Amino acid sequence: MAQNFGAAWFEGENMKNKSKGQWIGLGLSGLVTVALAFFALIKFVQPGDYAENAAQMGMQSQHLLVLGILLAVCAVTYAIPKTKLIGAVLTTGYFGGAISVHFLANDPLGNFALPVLLPVIAWLAIYLRDDRIKAAVCSCASSTASV
């Protein structure tokens, strides 16, 4: 039973014969998934002064719960191999909004690092894991170079 579940879970991804880059991509994907799940949990639990700090940026408690749900959806869709592209798009959109909120709050530039880096790492992980994405990126790069 567990073996069938594992085979269905990683369908389309041969766990044997993975290159070094694919293993790095898999590790980065795990890191992104854990980070997204952690950030969702923080939105649900709201430890310490978290809710107060969010209120200073114009967010109410119910907004944090909705954002937590959105982050959880991002984490789940990114973690499932068949929906990883949808998860990466959702993650990119979510953190684009986070960048906007930090920008509008006149936060220091250092607060922009995580919302910028996490989607970049998410897409890098997919690029390293999926040969179809590599082929699509390389074909786009070669067609624009000839123009």
pLDDT digits (tens, 9 = 90+) for 21-72: 899 999 999 999 999 999 999 999 988 888 888 888 888 888 999 999 999 9
Residue of 116, 117, 118 lying closest to 100 (CA atoms):
116
Q: Is 30 domain-assigned?
A: yes
Q: Which residue has the higher pLDDT, 147 or 139?
A: 139
The answer to whether position 3 is within a domain reads: no
Is residue 2 in some structural domain? no
pTM higher than 0.75: yes
The per-residue pLDDT for 146 is 57
Q: Is residue 14 part of a domain?
A: no
CA neighbor of 88 nearest in space, from 21, 36, 17: 36
pLDDT tier for residue 143 given thresholds of 50, 70 and 90: low
**Structural domain tally of the chain?**
1
**52: number of Cβ within 10 Å:** 9
In a domain, 101, yes or no: yes
> Is 36 within the bounds of a domain?
yes
- Cα 44 from Cα 37, distance rounded (Å): 11
- For residue 11, with 0-12 CB atoms within 10 Å meaning exposed, 13-18 middle and 19 or more buried, which class applies? exposed
Q: Directed axis angle between helix 113-129 and helix 131-145, to 10°?
A: 100
Q: Which residues span the domain enclosing 101?
A: 21-142
For residues 36 and 57, what is the distance between their CA atoms, to the nearest angstrom? Answer: 21
Whether 38 is in a domain gets the answer yes
The answer to whether residue 39 is domain-embedded is yes
Which helix (H) or strand (E) covers residue 61, if one does?
helix 61-79
Under the banding of pLDDT at 50, 70 and 90, the label for residue 8 is: very low
